[in-house]
Structures are given as C-alpha cells and as structure tokens.
C-alpha cells in the first residue's frame, strides 16, 4: 500500500504510457469525444461502477459532446498509482464504448497576481472567492475553479501589469498553441525557461504564460 500513497512526478506519470491522459497541475486529465449525451451517460455509468469497485473516485464532467475526467488522490494531494490504475481502466471502458480520447484539447488555467507581499492580499482573495487559502495559493478543493497564486515581485509605483494567465497544456501541444497566439498578433517575450514555460504578450503588452510539466521535476 505504500506505493499507493506515494505522489508521482509528472515524468513518472508520463513514463506509465497513459496515451489518453495528460498531467496538468496536480491531476490526471482525459477528455473523451462521445458525440451524444446518451453515449456519454452510459460511459459515466460504467466509470462510476469501476470507481466504486476500486474505492477511488474521479471528478467527471458530462456535456452533450464529451466527457472530461480528472483524477487525483485527495488524501495525499497528488497523483498516485491508484490514479494510474483507474486511468487505465477508464481508457479500457471508453474503448469498449467506441469513444476516442482527445488529449490535444486538454488545458488547465491558473491566475497569477504579482505582489511584493502576498500575505497582505491573499486572505482578501480567499474570502472574496470563497476558496481555501493554502500557503501562497488560493484554490478550490473541488478542482472546479482555477487556482490563484502570487508571484513575488519588487514594489513598483505605479504598479505595472499585476495579473497574468498561466495556461497549462500537454507538452506536445505547446508549440502549436504558441504559434496560433503569435499568428493572432502576439509576441514571444521569452523562451528562456522553456519547456517549463514561455512568456507571450498581446499587441498591447499584456503577458501570459504557456506552461507544461517538463523542466519542473
């Protein structure tokens, strides 16, 4: 059981060869194109049965054309072999239903606020958003809303841009996402930290980061 409580790195998860799944932030994500609500509902029913059998339960979003699934071990705060095993089982179930995964469409977004002292502002944002404050992050324990984190900066008067988006994508889709953003009028500010993240800016200089798990372990 020890291995079932060990949090896996993103590289370790990648080495498991879960073709339908991608590691984004602290969860395994998969999206299956069902093409209709009835197919999606049947898929979710079978996933629920497998989850009950494993005593390990995913977060599931069902819409008309797709089912999106997120896996994490809440008791340890990360992805473990329990999630890997259930991910494999879910992929088997999806294949039996004749639906295919679309890992290239997966994405997770974080909000980052530049501040010289996060302790001054973090409680406000946690209260305003009615979320949990955990160190230097404000997060939704249910994983439904983006995490907000605080990037240390020097005091600036007047303040520069304070907010930026972190867009977390599977590593194999990062360059395509960046290319589309550049073609839409953006500029590449820095690729010094790639493949961990690239800094982009829109035509007015507002910045965002395209991020992957690589280069972080």
Name the residue with higher pLDDT: 161 or 118: 118
At 15, is the secondary structure helix, strand, or coil? helix
> Which pLDDT band, with edges at 50, 70 and 90, does 154 fall under?
confident
Phi, psi of 204 (to 5 degrees): -105, 10
Question: Where do the domains of the chain lie, and which CATH numbers do they carry?
Answer: 2-105 (3.30.1360.20), 108-211 (3.10.180.10)
Mean pLDDT of 118-129: 89
CA distances from residue 56 to 53, 74, 172 in whole angstroms, order as listed: 8, 10, 29
CA dihedral 80, 84, 86, 89 (to 10 degrees): -170
The residue assigned the tokens 């953006």 is 186
Residue from 165, 166, 202, 206 nearest 184 by CA: 202
Percent of the chain with pLDDT over 70: 97
Question: Could you tell me what percent of the chain has a pLDDT over 90?
Answer: 75
Average confidence (pLDDT) over 153-161:
74
The more confidently predicted of residues 152 and 79 is 79
Within 18-80, residue ranges assigned H as helices are: 37-54
Question: Measuring CA to CA, which residue among 9, 8, 60, 65 is closest to residue 34?
Answer: 65
Pairing of strands 197-201, 207-211: antiparallel
For 45, phi then psi, to 5°, come to: -60, -45
In the 8-state DSSP scheme, what is residue 34? -
Q: Is the pTM of the predicted complex or chain greater than 0.85?
A: yes
Cα-based distances in Å from 147 to 16, 20, 212: 27, 24, 16
Mean pLDDT of 135-163: 84
* Rounded-to-integer distance, Cα 169 and Cα 177, Å: 9
Tell me the pLDDT band of 217, cut-offs 50, 70 and 90.
low
pLDDT in tens, 38-94: 999 999 999 999 999 999 999 999 999 999 999 999 999 899 999 999 999 999 999
């Amino acid at each position: 059981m020890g291995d079932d409580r060990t949090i896996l790195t993103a590289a370790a998860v990648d080495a498991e060869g879960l073709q339908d799944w991608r590691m984004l932030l602290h969860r395994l994500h998969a999206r299956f194109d069902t093409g209709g609500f009835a197919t999606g509902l049947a898929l979710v029913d079978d996933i629920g049965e497998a989850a009950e059998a494993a005593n390990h339960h995913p977060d599931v979003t069902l819409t008309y054309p797709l089912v999106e699934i997120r896996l994490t071990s809440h008791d340890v705060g990360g992805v473990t072999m329990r999630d890997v095993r259930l991910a494999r089982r879910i992929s088997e179930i999806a294949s039996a239903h004749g639906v295919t995964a679309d890992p290239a469409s997966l994405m997770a977004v974080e909000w980052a606020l530049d501040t010289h002292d996060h302790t001054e502002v973090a409680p406000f944002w946690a209260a305003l958003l009615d979320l949990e404050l955990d160190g230097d992050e404000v997060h939704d324990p249910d994983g439904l809303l983006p995490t907000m984190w605080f990037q240390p900066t020097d005091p600036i008067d007047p303040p520069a841009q304070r907010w930026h988006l972190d867009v977390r994508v599977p590593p194999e889709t990062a360059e395509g996402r960046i290319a589309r953003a550049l073609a839409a009028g953006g500029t590449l500010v820095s690729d010094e930290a790639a493949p961990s993240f690239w800094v982009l800016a829109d035509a007015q200089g507002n910045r965002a980061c395209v991020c992957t798990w690589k280069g972080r372990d």
